[in-house]
Structure 1
Amino acid sequence: MDHVLDHVGIAVRSIDDVLPFYLNVLNGLLEDRYTSDAPGVEVHVAVVRTNDKVIELLEPTNKNSPIARFIKQRGKGVHHIAYRVEDLDKAILEAKEKGIRFLEDTLRTNTRGRRLIYINPASTAGTLVELCGYPND
C-alpha cells in the first residue's frame, strides 16, 4: 500500500503569531482554520498550503491538551508527519502484521472528515507519525 506525504503538523503557541511567516514569507495560502474541542485533541488548526505541500499549525486550546503537553515537554516545532493511505483500516492491519504499534485511542474522524490514527513513536524511532485517509475521496 502506498503512503503519500499528506501534511506536517507543527506545534505553536499562537497561530496568529506565526501565520504571517507561512503566508508572507513562504507564500502559502490559508486553506482552512478550525477548532477541535474533542477530548484528547483540543486544538486550533490552521491549514496552510504551499504549492503541493500542506502544513497544519496546531495551537493548544487549553493547558492540558496534547499539543500543550508536547510544547511543554519538547518545545515548539514539528509535532507529527502525516501520510495519506487509500484504505486506513487496511494500512493499520498491514502495519500491525509488521509489528508496528499504534496509539489506539487516537483513532478517530476529525471535524473535516479525515480518518486518522497515530503510530506509537516507539515503532518509529521517536517520530510521531499519523496515518490518514479521506473516505470521501
Structure 2
Amino acid sequence: MEKTFDHLGIAVRSINDTLPFYLNVLGARVVDRYSSETKGVEVHVAALEVGGMHVELLEPTNRESPVARFIRQRGQGVHHVAYRVENLDQAIEEAKTGGVRFYEETLRTNARGRRLIYMHLASTSGTIVELCDYPN
C-alpha cells in the first residue's frame, strides 16, 4: 500500500513560546489549534502549514503523558513522523505480515477525525512512526 508523508510531530514545552519561530522565521500559518485530554495523549496541538508541509506542535498537558515523558528523556524536538495511507486497517495488517509490531493501545481516532496508530520502536530503528488515514 502506498504511503505518503502526512506530518511531523514536534514535542515542545510551550506552543506559545515556540510559535513565533514557526510563524516569523519559517512563515508558517496556523491551520488549527485543539486539545486532546484522551488518556495516554494529553496534549495541546497547534497544526501548522509550512511551505506545503504539515507540522504539529505538541505540548503536554499532563506530566505523565507520552509527550511529557519524551521531552524528559530526549528533550524538545521531532517526536514522530506520520505517513498517510488510504486504509489504516489494511496498512496495519500488511505491515504485521511483514513483521512490524505496533503499540496497539495507540490505535484511535483523534479530535479531528484522523485515525492513527504508532509503530513499535523495535520495528522502526528507534523512530516513532505514525500511520494514519482520514476516513471522513
* Structure-2-length-normalised TM-score: 0.99
Match for 1:55: what amino acid? V
For 1:43-54, what aligned pairs fall within 5 Å after superposition?
A: 43-54=43-54
- Give 1:100's aligned residue: 100
Structure 2 alignment gaps of length 5 or more: none
For 1:55-94, what aligned pairs fall within 5 Å after superposition?
A: 55-94=55-94
**Counterpart Cα distance in 1 of 2:108 and 2:34:** 17
- Give 1:114's aligned residue: 114
Shift in Å, 1:50: 1.0
CA-to-partner distance for each residue in 1:105-133, whole Å, 9 max, x for gaps?
Answer: 00000000000000001000000000000
**Counterpart Cα distance in 1 of 2:51 and 2:124:** 28
Match for 1:76: what amino acid? Q
Shift in Å, 1:62: 1.4
Shift in Å, 1:57: 0.2
- Give 1:14's aligned residue: 14
**Counterpart Cα distance in 2 of 1:17 and 1:42:** 19
Shift in Å, 1:51: 2.2
Moved over 3 A (4+): none
Q: Tell me the C-alpha RMSD between the 2 structures.
A: 0.5
Structure 1 alignment gaps of length 5 or more: none
CA-to-partner distance for each residue in 1:39-95, whole Å, 9 max, x for gaps?
Answer: 000000000101210000000001111110000011110000000000000000000
Match for 2:65: what amino acid? S
**Counterpart Cα distance in 1 of 2:67 and 2:130:** 15
**Counterpart Cα distance in 2 of 1:19 and 1:115:** 26
Shift in Å, 1:9: 0.2
Other structure's SS at 2:105 match: strand
Q: Percent identity?
A: 66
Match for 2:75: what amino acid? G
**Counterpart Cα distance in 1 of 2:128 and 2:51:** 24
Length, aligned pairs only: 136
**Counterpart Cα distance in 2 of 1:16 and 1:72:** 19
